[in-house]
Amino acid sequence: MSFLELVTNRYSVRKYDCRPVPAEVLARILEAARLAPSACNTQPWRFFVVTNAAARAALFPHERQAWISAAPVVLVACSYPAHAWKRAYDGKNHADVDLAIAMEHLVLAATEAGLGTCWICAFDPAVFRQVLTLPPDMEPVAATPLGYSLDTPRPKHRKPLAEIVTYLP
């Protein structure tokens, strides 16, 4: 599969089979996150692998998000903002940028392995903090269910290139 085919094939999977994810496949996906670049190579992240059914459900207590904890694995990407690079000019902290890159590495590695994912940021950080026993300096940034898809790919609706790209003369 070419890279463009891979990113075209990826879609947000919102229905999962309960079939477990083999440990070696999970390890390969996490390795893709580990290899992600980060500003000044600070790697200000930690990834939580949640397979315990009660813990998965505790992360997403509302019925409308039960499809997330139905996946055999929930991955949670957390940052250490205090360890991340800050731009000298304006102090902008790049922890979220770093986390997003690592998370998308993970998502695309999962796609290549035939697994479904869905970026999730609509969660209660206080609940995540409590369930994962996060230290105060760690921030939950994003999560994804991980598992075999029972969903159907939908057509991608994206703005045309002409609307999102500016070529400077």
Ligand X SMILES: Cc1cc2nc3c(=O)[nH]c(=O)nc-3n(C[C@H](O)[C@H](O)[C@H](O)COP(=O)(O)O)c2cc1C
Binding site for ligand X (CB under 6 A): 11-12, 118-122, 156
Q: Closer CB to ligand X, residue 11 or residue 47?
A: 11
Burial annotation 40-67 (CB, 10 A radius, 16+ → b, else e): eebbbbbbbebeeeeebbbbbeeeebeb
CB-CB contact of 80 with 104 (8 Å): no
* Least spacing, CB of residue 154 vs ligand X, in Å: 6
Q: Closer CB to ligand X, residue 53 or residue 122?
A: 122
* Least spacing, CB of residue 145 vs ligand X, in Å: 10
Q: Closer CB to ligand X, residue 121 or residue 126?
A: 121
Residue of minimal Cβ distance to ligand X: 122
User: DSSP 3-state assignment of 111?
Assistant: helix
CB-CB contact of 69 with 111 (8 Å): no
* Least spacing, CB of residue 100 vs ligand X, in Å: 7
